[in-house]
Each structure stands twice: as C-alpha cells, then as structure tokens.
Structure 1
Amino acid sequence: MTMELSRRGMLGTIAATAFAAPALARAKTGFGAVQTLIESYVTSGKVPGAVVAIVRPGAFRPEYLMAGKAAFGADSKGGGAPVSPDTLWRIYSMTKPVTAMAVMQQVAAGRLALDMPISAVMPEFANMRVLVDPAKGLESRPAAGPITVRHLLTHTAGLTYTIVGNGPLEKEYRRLGLFPGSATSGTQPGDGKVPNLQGFVAGLASLPLYGEPGKSWRYSVALDLAGGMLERLTGKSFDAVLDEQLFRPLGMANTGFQVRPGQLPKLSSNYAWVKPDLTPLNAPVLIDGPLRSDWIGPPKLLAGGAGLLSSARDYARFGQMLLNEGLFEGRQVMPRGVARLATSNLLPVGVFQDGTNGFGAGGRVTLFDTVAKLPEGNAVGTYGWGGAAGTLFQVDRVRQMAVIVMLQYLPQQRFPLGKELQAAINRDVA
C-alpha cells in the first residue's frame, strides 16, 4: 500500500504550501462519524479536501460525503475547486484490485486458471531461480515450483518491490528501472530508465526471485506482472484490456493511466508530509498537481500495480459491482461465483498476510471478525486495499456496503486514517 516517495519527486525544490482551515458546510448524511472524520482532516490542514462514496447492494445509488477543495489555497490555480464525486485522484495501489479483477475475468472465461503456471502465457518464467540469501547477494538456486496466477494475485510469487527493501535484488530492480509506476522524477544515479510493460516483464524474468513461489506473502510488483500477462494473453495493450473488460461496462469514464483531454480541471493536487529522506515535515509540500503532473501525457509503463487515476464516482461503480457479486446495473460484468471467489481468501495453505489476514485477488481479506474486540475492527470477510496517497477501499459483505475514500497525502502512514475510518464506520452502522 505504500509507494516510493521519489515516484512523485520535486520535494527538494518546492516551498511549503500555506493554507488556512476552510469553513465547511455539512450535508445531511447517515454517516455522521465518517463525515466528521473527513471534515477534521480538512480543518486541521492534513488534506485540502476529501470525498467518501458509500454504496449498498442493488442499483447504483451512491451516497457521497465531501469536504474541502482539491488543492490548498496557494495551489488553487487549476485544482482549487471544491471536491466533487468526479474529482480525479491518484489511487496508486488501489489499481491492484482493478488489475486483479481483470485477471479473474479471464479465469471466468477459461483462458486462465488460478493454479496455472504463468509460464503457459509467458514462457520466459519457466525456469526461475530463487536467491539463496536475499540479504547477502544474488547467488541463486532453481525454484522448487512455478509461479502461478494465484501467486501473482496474492503477492506470493516470490517477487519484491523497491519500496519494501533495499537489498541486492531491489537494487537490481532499480538498475533495470523496475519501479512502481512510470515517473522518472527523483531517480537516483545508476537507476535505469522505466521500460514499457513488456520490457518490465522481460526485466523481471531475467532476475532471480526473492523467495520461493507460494511460500510467503511479500508485497511486490506481482500485479504489474499480471498486467503484462494480460497483454500477452489477449494481444491487446493493458489499458485497452481494462477499458474493454471493466471501464466501459462499468461506465468508469474518468479512470485511466493519464489525464485525458478536458479532464485537467478535475485533477486534485498531491502533497507530501515528509522529505525525500522520510524526515517528517511540519507542513505539506506540493509534489504533483494540475500545473505539473506525472499523469499529464502518456505513461511509459502501464502500471497495473499503481498507475491509475480515478474518481470517487468511478471507483464506487467498481465497488458496487463487487458488492453485487459481479452485477452492475443489470449487466453481469463478472460471473457471480468468480466475483465471490475473487474477494475471498486465495492465499496458499498456511500463508497469511500480516500474520492473520487473508488475501484475495489484489486485496486483503479479514479472516476473523474483530468488530467486538476493537473500535477499528473489521467484519469477517471484508475485502479491500488502499493507496500510497491515503485512498482507501473496502467491500463489507456483513454490513452490506462498499466504502471508497479519496484524498491525497504522502506517505499513507503519516496519519492513521485507516483505523480512524474503520472506527467511524463502526460507530455509524452499530
């Protein structure tokens, strides 16, 4: 759920943003605690604005909770309008569930299977090797088993990320340009250029794995590789695959890998609360906005792990489809059984995420109900994931609701929004 801060760059050259707490007009809502929470994030200056979308089963009738603007005052030009359901946000790792569902649609069509080796589609992964000691060097031995589709969907493929370590293998990722996303600002001397998606696939295939496939959970570029697999499987570009399988059927007209013509006024601004060395800042710093953005123009890499822009309205459509078990406005976008399977625990036997959680297709799955024990507890079976800039998403089948939160601040760990949001939801639906 975190991303490398250099992905956004510019921290060293931009002055701290000045802002004042705006006056907020409260809308009537059944989610008063959630509304109060997002208002507090705005009035305390943590973010300039936020949008929450909540959907229930059935027809698409989202409830929106909103506060603030798309940018702080000093950055108002081009992005300072009040937030709306159609404001564009960088969703970073909330791209992963989207990519994963596109893979599951191919599983439903019989073109993939969860336990199919990915080498059936990408032969260069047929004879992978595994590091002997990830901390010491690149010495490797043959992998005991193949990487499967299931492994890609659940971060158990044995891959890694430049944002979760800085060992010998992660340094090789950097050398080959295998970063989360396609921005080049903030790269370090010796870092390679970001390749296109099939170049990304080739780079990964040329390196050993961090660990044995299927043996442990490690956050990784697995969903980026899954996007490359979809390209190879379909013979279409990854963005065309998503458009055909999900965005057009769901009416997600504002979701994509770049700001489209006419969309720039909708783009929010993104801010960092830390320096490049992760030292905390007392005030946020602008790192990406309508006047200068990594999302203006075609991306080099169609990053299935972190590359999408979306709006609260669009992602709510995606959440509605999953809550409805694949059905959206009378159209079965995914078969019911496959949609349920995708949001259930798909981890190999004996593997957990964060010690106790399960993991479905691109998102965490709560295995044990903790609502009664913790103010921020989750209902059993809750599926969801978040993004580096604080965005959050979950489908809660027990309470029969999907919740999407859109705002922008980096890093995601700077504020405890996830726990605070869940506690607010629990108060509102108690």
Structure 2
Amino acid sequence: MSANGPTGTNTDTIQGITKEGLAEFNARMHAVVDEGKQANIVTLIARHGEIVNCDAYGVLDVSKTPPVPVKTDSIFRIASMTKPITAAAMMMLWEEGKWALEDPVSKFIPEFEGLKVKQDDGELVPQASPMTMRQLMSHSAGFGGRQEYPDLRDGDLQDMIDFLAQQPLFFQPGKGWRYGPSVDIQGYIMQKLTGQFVDVFLEERIFAPLGMVDSGFVLPPSKVDRLVNNHKPDDNGKLVTIDLPGTYNTSRPKFLGAGGGLMLSTVKDYWRFSQMILNGGEFEGKHYLKASTVEMMHSNVLEPGTSMMLGRHKLDGLGFGLGYAIVQDPALKTGQPLESYFWGGLYGTWFWIDPVNDMIVIGFINIISGTTMAGSPLLREVSARLIYKAVKEPSQN
C-alpha cells in the first residue's frame, strides 16, 4: 500500500468505497494543509478489516528547512484518545472478576467514602447513593470537569486521589456528566488491582499483543525523528512550531495519566486497537475481550435525561458507554451514522468506529487549537461527509 492509498486493484471500489471518493477525501484533507490551517494530516480508513486508504500529507515541523515530510508511521500525541484504550484494559479486569459495575468506587478508593455533593446554593449534602464503577467508567460519578480543578497532574496518582478526597462532588452520582478526572482515577484503580504501573499493564495486555509497536507514554531516542511537532497559530493565524522539549516523555512520567497525559501513537497502531474492538474483542486470531463486553462498552449507560456537558457545550444527540461516546441522533452534525462510537484528543486527533458499515476512520493532527480552526470537530464532520458519500456498497455484516 502506498502512502496515497491502496494499489493493485482494477475495480472502481475498494471494499465498497469508490476510488474516486477516496481521492476526493484525500484532496480535501490535503487542502487543509495547503490552506495553512494544519502543518500535517495523516488519515486511515478501514472497512471489512482491510485498510483501504492510508494517507500522509504535510511536514513534521513548519520551521524546518528543508522540510521533512510527515509519513504514515509518524508519531502523534493522541491525548484523550488514550481513554478508550484504558476502558478496554479496565474491562479485561472486569472479565476477570476484579471489579463489578455496581461496586462502589470507595471499595477500591476508601478515601472517597462519604464524599459530599455541592448543591447550586453551596450547601454540601450526602450522596443519594454511592458512586459506582459504572458511573466512573462513564464520566457520571459526580466529579467536575477538568477545568474546575487545579492541575491534577502536578504530582502522582496518589496526590490526585488525596486532593479529590477533600473536594465535594459537583452533582449526585448518575445525575450528570462531566469530562474530568474519571479515567485517571480508573488508572489508579488499575494499578491497585494489578500491582503494575499503568504503562506496564497496557504494554503487556494491549500494546505488545496487538503489535502496537509505536504506542506508549515514553518516546525512545531512536523514534524522536518520527514525532510530529505540535503547532499553533500566531496572532496573524500563521502556524508556528511548539518546541519539542517538554512535549513528550523521555522516561516514565510521575503522573501516569490513563486519561491522556502524553500518550503517543500512530494511525496504524490505533487502527489495530480499533479493529480489535470492531471485531468484538478479537484481532488476528487472539481474543482480548468477549464480544458481549465490547457491545456493552459502546451501549449507552447514562440515566435517561442526563445531559453531556463538555466545558460549556452541551453534547446533544449522544450517549456514553464504558469508554466511548455513541451517536444516538441521526441529525447529529458530525455526519456519523447511528450506533457509531468515537472520541477525540486535545490536539485534534479523531476517530470513530462504525459497526453498521463495518468501518473505522482515524485522523491525526497535532495543533494547540485542535478543537478550533479546522480542528477535530470540523475535520471529523468533513471526513464523515466525504467518506459516506463514497460508500457505494452497504455492509452485509
């Protein structure tokens, strides 16, 4: 397969997606770089278990002369796209009987026993019912959004727990949804249940078995030349480079953020993980999770009427499972079909899994304004519009 897509076929479609449509998709992604909105973009589309398009365009660093082209194996910061991986690891432990969905979180973190809930008038009241692991896995346990706390990553995971144990919850468990420290808390529980650091457990149970050779929290010196620079727009909207030092880990970080941190990966590594999930927990003959477990991960577990709030933005038309947001409204402007499930990363990375059309779409960029200026929401929408326009043969699965 070439960087610009698959070769060696004489048909007009590849796994039911037109070559013409794939060319239009690539051209539109390239235009985002040519227009100066992104320094680079790497995308991957897979259907029926086959990578039908893997494309790289742009440069690693806009400040370098001569420019160094981005490649399909370039390494990106995936930030919160770590969360679905953590969810899969937690569900492995669930299958082993290490925890149950209705277990109170305080069973594993005694410091959280009896946390109070802060009401709108400032009064602190008891929890109506103890927060559960199901709620922790779905961002509905009562914790606030990340912006509502100081930086919880200044210390280690125990420091985070100690701080949160002194703070009230922002809503009654199960009665709201906030995008906060829940997955980092899962990482803390993972370490207690396994006796292993988060990075070691993920490496042994997910990365190494799946062949995700370029994914992890630490970047070896031998791979630094494959890491894309982060970029940001200056006051005139022109892209400038963020210096590499401090933007990746050279050794195990003090804070092993299971919710993101400085997790690194490539589009093909992330495809291997996503394909395992789409396959119902199996990849290349090895079983990682039961199909029923995976189904539960992308089934809505939020209580009826629960509103998902990301910062100040209400996310209408979505549900949330155990690690994934789920499209529940066909009018949702992301353009993804019903039942598709997804997430994204702070620096603009995005992906979705479409079980109806048996498809995976992944896009990687790294820009500080990743959620604005042609960032993840816009590129996700553009991707979906072009890709589904190109699907000519509906899935038989």
TMscore range, shorter length: 0.7 to 0.9
Q: In 1, distance between residues paired with 2:209 and 2:221? A: 21
Q: Structure 2 residue aligned with 1:148, among 124, 132, 136?
A: 132
Q: Number of aligned residue pairs: give it.
A: 366
Specify the alignment match of 1:200 in structure 2: 160
What residue number does 1:406 align with? Answer: 364
The correspondence of residues 15-414 of structure 1 with structure 2, limited to 5 A, is 27=5, 29=19, 31-58=22-49, 61=51, 63-72=53-62, 74-75=63-64, 80-133=67-120, 139-163=123-147, 170=148, 173-174=149-150, 177-178=151-152, 182=153, 194-273=154-233, 281-289=236-244, 293-307=247-261, 308-353=263-308, 354-370=315-331, 376-411=334-369, 412-414=371-373
| Pairwise CA distance, 1:55 | 2.1
Q: Distance in 2 between matches of 1:288 and 1:425?
A: 34
Is the contact between residue 113 and residue 149 of structure 1 (CA under 8 Å) also seen in structure 2?
Answer: yes
Q: Distance in 1 between matches of 2:155 and 2:69?
A: 37
Distance 1:320-1:413 versus aligned 2 partners, 3 A rule: same
Q: How many angstroms apart in 1 are the aligned matches of 2:291 and 2:181? A: 28
Letter in 1 for 2:54: Y
* Residue 56 (structure 1) shift: 2.5
Maintained 8 Å contact 1:62/1:316: no
SS in 1 for 2:238: strand
Shift of 1:87: 0.8
1:26 Cα deviation from its structure 2 partner: 5.4
Give, as a single letter, the amino acid of the residue that structure 2 aligns with 1:31: L
Gaps of 5+ in 1: 1-24, 164-169, 183-193, 275-279
How far the C-alpha of 1:380 sits from its partner, in A, is: 1.1
The alpha carbon displacement at 1:288 in A equals 4.3
SS of the equivalent of 1:365 reads strand
Aligned residues: CA RMSD: 2.2
* Secondary structure, counterpart of 1:105 in structure 2: helix
Question: Which whole-Å CA distance do the structure 1 matches of 2:246 and 2:230 have between them?
Answer: 11
Q: Check the 8 A contact 1:152/1:222 in 2, yes or no.
A: yes
Match of 2:57, as an amino acid?
A: A
Deviation at 1:383, TM superposition (A): 0.5
CA distance in 1, matches of 2:243, 2:337: 35
Q: CA deviation at 1:282?
A: 1.4
Alpha-carbon distance in structure 1 between the residues aligned to 2:225 and 2:98: 40
Q: Which runs of 5+ in 2 are unaligned?
A: 7-18, 309-314, 393-397
Q: Which moved more, 1:312-321 or 1:347-356?
A: 347-356
Q: CA deviation at 1:27?
A: 4.9
**Which has the higher mean CA deviation after the structures are superposed, 30-39 or 232-241?**
30-39
1:144 to 1:327, Cα distance in 2 relative to 1, 3 A: same
Q: CA deviation at 1:153?
A: 1.8
Separation (CA, whole Å) in 2 of partners of 1:281 and 1:209: 41
Instruction: Tell me by how many angstroms 1:267 deviates.
Output: 0.5
Q: 1:370 touches 1:378 (CA, 8 Å); kept in 2?
A: no
The answer to whether structure 1 residue 418 and structure 2 residue 380 are counterparts is: yes
Q: Scaled by the length of structure 2, what TM-score is found?
A: 0.86
Aligned letter for 2:165?
A
Q: What is the CA distance between 1:85 and its match in structure 2?
A: 2.5
Structure 2: which amino acid aligns with 1:254? D
User: How far apart are the structure 2 equivalents of 1:427 and 1:409?
Assistant: 28
Q: Which amino acid counterpart does residue 422 of structure 1 have in structure 2?
A: A
State the Cα deviation string for residues 60-103 of structure 1 (Å, max 9, x = none): 6463122122221x1358xx532223211011111111111111
Q: Contact 2:41/2:58 (CA < 8 Å) preserved in 1? A: yes
CA distance in 2, matches of 1:48, 1:200: 35
Distance 1:62 1:234, change over 3 A: farther
Q: TM-score, normalised by structure 1?
A: 0.79
CA deviation profile, 1:289-313 (whole Å, cap 9, x unmatched): 3x55343343221111122111111
Q: Is the 8 A contact 2:102 2:133 kept in 1?
A: yes
Say which SS state the counterpart of residue 43 (structure 2) adopts: strand
**1:242 to 1:283, Cα distance in 2 relative to 1, 3 A:** same
> What is the match of residue 167 of structure 1?
none
Q: Corresponding residue for 1:188? A: none
Partner AA of 2:368 in structure 1: L
Instruction: State the distance in 2 between where 1:281 and 1:359 align.
Output: 38
Q: Please give the alpha-carbon distance, in whole angstroms, between the structure 2 residues aligned to 1:237 and 1:342.
A: 23
With 293-302 and 227-236 compared, the bigger mean Cα shift is at 293-302
